[in-house]
A and B are shown apart, each in its own frame.
Chain A
Amino acid sequence: MNDAVKDSAVHYDPPIDTSTDDINAYLEGTNRSLYNFRDEGTDYYKVDEGLTREIVDQISKEKNDPEWMHEFRLKSLEIYNQMRVPDWGPPIDGLNMDNIVTYVRPKTDMKASWEDVPEEIKSTFDKLGIPQAEHKYLAGVGAQYDSELVYHHLQDFVAEHGVIYSDLESAMRGEYAQMIQDYFMKLVPPTDHKFAALHGAVWSGGSFVYVPKGVKVDIPLQSYFRLNAKGAGQFEHTLIIVEEDADLHFIEGCSAPKWNVANLHAGCVELYVKKNARLRYSTIENWSKNMYNLNTKRAIVEEGGRMEWVSGSFGSHVSYLYPTTILKGKGADCEYTGITFSGKGQDLDTGCRMVHIGEETSSLVTTKSLSKDGGIGTFRSAVEIRPSARRSKSSVDCQSLMLDDISRSDTIPEMDVCTEDCDIGHEAKIGSISDEAVFYLMSRGISEDEARAMIVSGFANPISKELPLEYAAEMNNLIKLEMEGSLA
């Protein structure tokens, strides 16, 4: 442990009960236009629509890839062309790769000061509150606009202790080149599935974080991804290595304006949690509702390590999102806490996968799902207890709330147990808002709409309280926005 870092760290508020007045105050004045504004003409260079070897070559050249990466991209393209589209999830017929622009470079290179970011791009992040958030409670920020990072900065007091937070491409070409080559797409190989292969072929942007042994970063780092270009794809890659006894909280946010054509997000997140280290990875996903979000996230946890996922899924037209955790070392554990809100025109297929390999590993999954206005919400999970995972434990609890009778809510969990010496529990419940609860609240002078909103807020509360105040407030805001209209 590095006391110096701990001491010098800016204190941030611990997770709070989001039903407090603080959050309501924070929410005042927010509206939908917060996320749904467009910037015209900010793209500077883009490749043609579609996916060909020439386009992959072009991206590789544009990125100044080392030779191994160029070959890796081409191999990934080959794999992509051989793999089939999944036959088990939401339909993705509306996604035509021939119409997707896989690389869009904005009119700037990466800056280390917001003042240097071109005004039209900076204003986007201003509206999203990113510079303000950095100033108040973040140890570092990376901001990606379309295919490239436009801003990256790490507070000096964190950098002084050896923490690396940079864009992945600089790291790949600089002093961490070997480390990137050793770790890049080793957890999520291009053969994993079709869209992992696509990512391997056209990835661009994303962050590299390295937390040295014993360093505990008390305040979070954040990456924010904004996809502005119409009909474009975003394929950022996040690689985080938290060394022995180190500690990190990483926050990921994303949004996009709504266009009348399909956009695609096929990012990839690879997380390495070493012995006795801890990593919390929080996401508030608010892509626009023309987005196909086919994202892959995976963590591997060594002995005594701890992985925590906090995930809020609100946006996208279609989502396939299942963070996977490989509990490799003895005593490794993982907690997954997630909420998914499916509204009109959305088919959000989310969940998680826990793979227990080490002895005495444990996993705890708590999810909430809400469906309304014809939205489809699916919780999909797998808990795999391998023969070596003796004395392991897993508990899964998923709850779904149907807010009307034109929506869908499904739970499709699987448990695959290959040892006798384990303890596995699973519980799921699907239901609607109980009339009795609404009646009780109304009998206390609360209107029906308010009563239903309160019940939904209470339902989501176990998730939002896992987030820092400002992010819990953003999540509650999103729920509030989603609930508008459905209550009328």
Chain B
Amino acid sequence: MTENRNSVIVNRLPSLTWNRLGVNRAYVDLDSLPAVSDEAVFTSANTEQVSTETKATPEATAWADGFTQGIRREAYIAAKSAIYQAQAFATGLGGDYTELIGKLVPETTVFTLEENQKPEKPVILSWDFGKGARAAAQQIIYAKKGSEATFLLNYLSDRDAAGHCAFETKVILEEGAHVRLMKVNLLGSGFVVLDDSAAVLGENAVFDFVQMELGGAKTYTGCYADQCGDHSIFTVNTGYMVNRDHLMDINYVAAQRGKNTDSKIYVKGSLRDEAFKVFRGTIDFRKGSKGSVGDEQEDVLIFDPGVVNKTVPVILTEEEEVDGRHGATIGNLSEDIMFYLGTRGIAKEDAEMLMTRGRLLSVAHMIPDTETVDKISDFIEEAFGDHE
């Protein structure tokens, strides 16, 4: 918690940079959350495929922390800044938020995949906030050796609804386990969204994280993957769209500890009107990660002069034989593309919608649920309709 009334610090940049840039951390003012009285309506599908139980949150947290005991926790990041707040199970939003959600959520849902269990259908968890509601939830996914599954979390509401939500999902992947975690934010234009994710990966484990961040007035989201096991793979594919005077604040960290690990962080999105977006992406090659590779790319389309885009792609390296890359392209559609589309009779606004939709759907199509993909497509079109 900070000195600023009732606020929390989230999305701290693992290695601090100049304070004047305003990207070292984000503050969430809890007093400014939209007031709502109703709980969101929760529905689920295909949960019978996996073992599900609820645990008291302190108990669940302590249990999950047990899986991280072997991880070396540094006192300093990049040999410079002192660690801000040690987290046993490091998450994207960070320790302050984990502490907060521990207070908000009395019970945590634990999904367990047994050894080599591979349910065919995705487990779908949906929260419908309707005309405006609130929800807070924490899930732990425990994927035992050789198991494989997809979890899809949907956050839905009416188009102009206001409300707030706080979520956290932790994933424990044992040797050879493969989990696809997909989160889709189609919330109304008055929502404050806090959505945190984290994973601990064993040897040969694969964690695919897909995120569609399209709704909400203020969204803070992050994901931290501790790649402890050799040959573990962490992949992020994110599509975002921010318009009006909305805010999007993202923090992804791949802490590569095992040998020959692989991380990919691919983010693409569009910004319109007076949107404000911060993207922090960190590839952190820790001692012992020999032979590891990391790649990070952000591709941002900016359509209006009032937009503010901040991109911070970081690589931290304390191991010799690694290969880390990052790249970013930021700008408008090229004149060539606009000219070509113009010659085909497509107006500028339509061209922008088409290009945004094309980019975002390339991420959305990774979601194995056509109903969700259709909703995403409709959401994008409606958002451009609002703009016009």
Q: Which residues of A contact B (CB under 8 A)?
A: 87-91, 347, 376, 378, 380, 382, 387, 390, 400, 402-405, 407-432
Contact = CB atoms under 8 A, between A and B. Distances in A.
A347 B76 CA distance: 14
B321 A432 contact: yes
Given A88-B81, A376-B79, A428 B309 contact: no
B372 interface: no
Given A414-B21, A415-B311, A432 B330 contact: no
A413 to B, nearest CB: 6
A408 B318 contact: yes
Contacts of B325: 427-430
Closest 3 CB pairs of A and B: A88-B16, A405-B320, A420-B302
Given A414-B17, A420-B302, A420-B305, A378 B332 contact: no
B15 interface: yes
Interface string B1-27: 000000000000001111101011000
Contact of A88 (B19, B302, B306, B308): B19
Contacts of B307: 417-420
Nearest to B318: A408
A146 to B, nearest CB: 31
Give the one of A400, A411, A420 with max B CB within 10 A: A420
B305 A421 contact: yes
Nearest to A409: B317
B331 interface: yes
B319 interface: yes
Contact of A412 (B306, B312, B321): B312
Contact of B80 (A91, A409, A413, A431): A91
B17 A88 contact: yes
Contact of B312 (A89, A387, A414, A417): A414
A415 to B, nearest CB: 5
Contact of A410 (B24, B315, B322): B315
B310 A415 contact: yes
With most chain B CB atoms within 10 A of its CB, the pick from A402, A422, A430, A432 is A430
Contacts of B24: 88
B213 to A, nearest CB: 19
Contacts of A407: 318, 320
Interface in B321-363: 321-332
Contacts of A412: 15, 17, 312, 314
Interface centre among A347, A423, A428 (most CB of B within 10 A): A428
B243 to A, nearest CB: 13
Contacts of A403: 320
B303 interface: yes
B158 interface: no
Contacts of A411: 314-315, 326
Given A421-B332, A432-B322, A382 B18 contact: yes
Nearest to A192: B20
B317 A378 contact: no
Nearest to A91: B80
Contacts of B306: 387
A419 B317 CA distance: 33
Contacts of A402: 317, 319-320, 322
Nearest to A424: B330
7 contacts: A87-B16, A91-B80, A376-B79, A405-B320, A419-B305, A424-B328, A428-B315
Contacts of A425: 327-330
B304 interface: yes
Contacts of B332: 420-422
Nearest to B331: A423
Nearest to A405: B320
A370 B163 CA distance: 50
B153 interface: no
A91 B78 CA distance: 11
B298 to A, nearest CB: 9
Contact of A428 (B15, B16, B300, B313): B313
B316 interface: yes
Given A402-B317, A427-B325, A418 B308 contact: yes
B349 to A, nearest CB: 14
Given A405-B320, A426-B327, A410 B314 contact: yes
Contacts of A376: 78-79
B322 A414 contact: no
A380 B13 CA distance: 14
| Among B16, B285, B328: residue with most chain A CB under 10 A | B328
Nearest to A423: B331
Contacts of B79: 90, 347, 376, 408
A424 B367 CA distance: 30
A88 B313 contact: no
Contacts of A414: 17-18, 21, 23, 310-312
Given A412-B15, A414-B312, A89 B321 contact: no
Contact of B313 (A408, A413, A417, A418): A413
Contacts of B19: 87-88
A430 B315 contact: yes
A89 B290 CA distance: 26
Contacts of A419: 302, 305, 307
A419 B321 CA distance: 39
A408 B305 contact: no
A132 B23 CA distance: 49
Given A416-B310, A429-B324, A405 B319 contact: yes
A410 B23 CA distance: 17
B78 A408 contact: yes
B304 to A, nearest CB: 6
Contact of B330 (A413, A417, A428): A417
A405 B321 contact: yes
A415 B81 contact: no
A303 B17 CA distance: 30
Nearest to A388: B305
Contacts of B302: 417, 419-420, 422
Given A414-B21, A430-B322, A89 B80 contact: yes
Contact of B320 (A404, A417, A418, A422): A404
Given A417-B309, A426-B326, 18 more contacts: A376-B78, A376-B79, A407-B318, A408-B78, A408-B316, A410-B78, A412-B314, A413-B314, A414-B311, A415-B309, A415-B328, A418-B305, A419-B302, A421-B332, A426-B327, A428-B325, A428-B326, A430-B322
